[in-house]
Amino acid sequence: MEQLAINGGIPVRNTYLSYGKQSIDDKDIEIVTKVLKGDYLTTGPNVKAFEEKVAKYVGAKYAVAVCNGTAALHTACFAAGIKEGDEVIVTPMTFAASSNCVLYCGGKPIFVDIDPKTYNIDPDKIEEKITDRTKAIIPVDFTGQSVHMDKIRCIAEKHNLIIIEDAAHALGSEYKGNKIGSLAHMAEFSFHPVKPITTAEGGMIITNDEKLYERLSLFRTHGITRNKALMSHEEGPWYYEQIDLGYNYRITDIQCALGSSQMNKLDSFVKRRREIVQIYNEDFKELSDYITTPYEAEYSNSGWHIYIVKFNLDKFKVGRKEIFEALQAENIGVNVHYIPVYFHPYYQKLGYKKGLCPEAEKLYEQMLTLPLFPKMSNNDVEDVINSVKKVVMYYGK
């Protein structure tokens, strides 16, 4: 990668700054160590405690913790009854898991283009893709910004569809003053290290529907139950039955203890993310001819999982690849979120073609993700800003 000449006395950063990173402190370590020294490493009390903590935070009745965010989406699709021949509305601007979960159940993802301002699925384009085979909508709160849930709920009610909100980016975010997680039939969170809180790997499904909760819980544990009301008969206190085909998607007590500890700091994490975004937005104003900073709709209060800038490439002497490599050479760990899902070779083999969602494809060609995580110091933030300015000055027309 090219090492840019020092411009304006700004040196290359000494250490690599990742685009995202977990925030673990001594309290987290102490709590995990306590579990390791205890009786339950898995299927113990910390799982339920973590579920209750997240459910209470978002204002929902039920929560089911699983081993990762993808498992959460798969479990939600099962609970929604997605089966072979069903169609599910999805966005292309997301990680592949948001639509893979539909394929796992035998369904077909139907991609709907994004709103060019929010980068979320455009609710005004959903209905034109609904058929008599449509079963659900999986909107994604991309970057942490809420989707327009009122519009999506109205469409879902009109067509009797289930909403599975992919809120993997959005724990701590809000929609019209309400915490994201309790407004859809089901909502999914991810606890990967770069997400708002972490359990290393982990996920959770939130719902207010008791029947969905029962199906979610069943699928997580092989389809096996000890609930006498669900069993065909009962032989003794040891007895259980497999009544459906589920998976082993259980999460450990070790992870859930960490998750509960992280929840105590979630609001402070979100506050710091918002502070960093405010600094970025203010400092990048002078580059408005060259880059477009994120737009946030009036109904959303984002927790800012990631910060995406769009490079106005007609103002540059090079393409996005050269800009990416130049920032990496400055030790700024930029990334791209995401490649439109149907661009992947597997989806191409399924018959999806490029050109399906022009706005998403246009955004993909221009976007870069800048570093953003709670442990970033103000000096880190300044390094990112200076490096972006340096690259713009070097390559801008």
Tell me the two tokens of residue 1: 């990668």
Query: Which residue's entry shows tokens 């999506």?
Result: 152
pLDDT at 9: 57
Residues of the chain with CATH 3.90.1150.10: 266-395
**Residues 182, 203: Cα–Cα separation, whole Å:** 16
Find out whether 41 and 35 touch, Cβ atoms under 8 Å: yes
Long-range contacts, 148-154 (Cβ 8 Å, 24+): 148/118, 148/120, 148/123, 148/297, 148/299, 149/175, 149/183, 149/184, 150/176, 150/299, 151/123, 151/124, 152/121, 152/123, 152/126, 153/183, 153/184
Tell me the two tokens of residue 381: 């933030």
pLDDT at 160: 98
Tell me the two tokens of residue 318: 């090079």
**Residues 248, 238: Cα–Cα separation, whole Å:** 20
Tell me the two tokens of residue 28: 């987290």
Residues of the chain with CATH 3.40.640.10: 26-263
Find out whether 5 and 395 touch, Cβ atoms under 8 Å: no
Coil, helix or strand at residue 209: coil
Instruction: Return the CATH class of domain 26-263.
Output: alpha beta
pLDDT at 12: 83
What's the predicted TM-score (pTM) here?
A: 0.96
Instruction: Return the CATH class of domain 266-395.
Output: alpha beta
Coil, helix or strand at residue 198: coil
* Cα–Cα–Cα angle for 346, 347, 349, rounded to 5 degrees: 70
Tell me the two tokens of residue 45: 């009390």
- Per-residue tens of pLDDT for the chain, all 397 residues: 344 544 555 778 989 999 999 999 999 999 999 999 999 999 999 999 999 999 999 999 999 999 999 999 999 999 999 999 999 999 999 999 999 999 999 999 999 999 999 999 999 999 999 999 999 999 999 999 999 999 999 999 999 999 999 999 999 999 999 999 999 999 999 999 999 999 999 999 999 999 999 999 999 999 999 999 999 999 999 999 999 999 999 999 999 999 999 999 999 999 999 999 999 999 999 999 999 999 999 999 999 999 999 999 999 999 999 999 999 999 999 999 999 999 999 999 999 999 999 999 999 999 999 999 999 999 999 999 999 999 999 999 9
Upper half-sphere CA count for residue 258 (Cβ side, 13 Å): 25
pLDDT at 5: 47
